[in-house]
Structure 1
Amino acid sequence: MDHPDLDTHRLPARQPTPGRAARGNPVNRFERFDRSLVDDGWEAEPLPPLRTEVSDENPRQIITRNTSPDIGFAQSINPYRGCEHGCIYCFARPSHAYLGLSPGLDFESRLIARPEAPRRLAQELSARGYLPRVIAIGTNTDPYQPIEKEREIMRGVLRVLSDFNHPVAIVTKGSLIERDRDILSDMAARGLVRVGISVTTFDPATARAMEPRVPAPERRLRTISALTEAGIPVRVMVAPVVPALTDHELEAILAAAARAGAVGASCIPLRLPREVAPLFRDWLAAAFPGRAARVMGRVRELHGGRDYDPAFGTRMTGQGQWAALLRQRFTITARRLGLDRALPPLATTLFRVPPRPGDQLSLF
């Protein structure tokens, strides 16, 4: 894989950083040495705004296979690495360490785009013996983060999937998905697409602090309506549920999404793998100091006394009384709102490799 020349020697912190969630840039878990800021007695000039940098990557393979027993998809695509949405709780942050970058501010501001993704995808789908299975997009980083407006890599990926009659499940917080209603509605008519829209809170202040570059919660409800009106099935994802901070909004979010046209729902409590835990703790102490101890106490109750327990089977649901109560609340509310219905599986039998220029066409 051709990686850009990435500088790994940036200072680990810059506080505060307007428009960003992480409060620092800690070294990743593969670094041998840590770095810290030291006051040398000189009065430093204010730091300039942290601008987003984008590098291009040309991967040899674009479809990633998954074998985790508690993940509901077997293959996925990531048009981008890193995410400018900057959600402080994002479980994908540790993946930036594989690039030699920090899961902190680097994850939000040093992005990797994959402009060759549509072409690579067409090649892989055309391979002899390829078995069509639903491809998930947005399960790691958001395909409709702000830079997609200019780069249009996700739109190119959708064109390829549509040409091949290939099923896709999309997860996003980005209202930019409305741009692609033309492709998505056509695919939905063939039973090839399903979309999940994530809503975490209706409180604007909490949303802005926790998800600094994500469209406002009410805007995401309008996205659900817009996609529904275009004939695209949408489920609302109340994820993550942050105990003692956003969990009281579960029923209200589900009800609002149902009114907006959602046909299904899911709910996942907060999980803080690897470097996400200290980043979240630092953010929580600064943003909600009065609630920090209570929130982290509930989080540890969810994960057997730890910030996170990666064990299959419980990592996505949590454990203990609070987790059981959350599941019960979700089940009762989803049933009452009609969001617990089983949706038909996406079609895999329509898959075909489209003819290329110069190919001889069949007479039948």
Structure 2
Amino acid sequence: MQHIDLKNKRILITGVAGFIGSYLVMDLLDSVTRVTIIGIDNMNNYYDVSLKEYRIQEIEKKAKEHPESSWKFIKADISDKSVVNVLFQIYQPEIVVNLAAQAGVRYSIINPDVYVSSNLDGFYNILEACRHSYDGEAKGVEHLVYASSSSVYGGNTKVPFSTEDQVDHPVSLYAATKKSNELLAYAYSKLYNIPSTGLRFFTVYGPAGRPDMAYFGFTNKLQKGETIQIFNFGNCKRDFTYVDDIVHGVKLVMQGAPERKIGEDGLPVPPYAVYNIGNSNPENLLDFVDILQQELIRAGVLPENYDFEAHKELVPMQAGDVPVTYADTSALEQDFGFKPSTDLRTGLRRFAEWYKQFYEV
């Protein structure tokens, strides 16, 4: 593994107005000396844009605390190849973190076009720009880190999910695009010697998260007095990981690029890696919802006497979903010392307190 010191580096992060992207930028500004961060996001309206604007404002505040570093935000779409090429020409990033993607399993069933545009065309444009960053003997990109997803495991029944498992049976277009990202990255690593690492994210939660995620959607509905649906009659387990732990893991991975080596055939051995990044501690969905309810009452989002049972409905499984997500993160632990430390109650408490303040409940 090639160690990379992030100090003084030029880092391009796509999807910076997203949940993980915004936290990553703020963490890097806080922890890395004289870092230059170029952020890109198309600010699409898949969910409430005001939440994305809030995250960008939080980054702006953080950047003011660190005048020795540099932060630049560009509102643009990575599916526009000319935009990506110009960004690489102007800023010449040394590390690229591709988090821009159309997220959501269920949305991919009703609006597939946007997944092909963002997750396939967009990622291809990033790979091409990384490839051409070496033109004319330039040093170019030292490490491409990109978001894959636990969705690639599809209907796998063997748990925990291991990166050694076969992932050829996606149950959604979203999952298929993420598996395609891994295949494209492998091909580009092999052909052009681009060090790349894919991260299969498991369920990430926390303050200012994605409103289409269950815990956020449940909170919105309960707060309005509506009924929440718990799928598979509550027999679901999810590997929930708090956003700060995830960002810590991403930052560790950014600093360790797969090593460039030449094989016996005289050709590059692909400097390529894929890791699971999660908590490796799946929680029962009913237990999760119970803790969420307690913390929403504690934070004052819901009243003390809230009749939770009257607002809960157990329903069958839905298309594109899986009953269990469970990450085997032993490789990430072994190679990078990654070990999440935030327990569920602490994480949901922080979310509930943020929700109370953000929505002025």
User: Normalising by the residue count of structure 1, what TM-score does the alignment of the two structures yield?
Assistant: 0.35
Larger Cα-atom Rg: 1
The structure with the largest strand share of the pair is: 2
Q: Which structure has the higher relative contact order (CA within 8 Å, separation 6+)?
A: 2
Task: Select the structure that is richer in helix.
Answer: 2
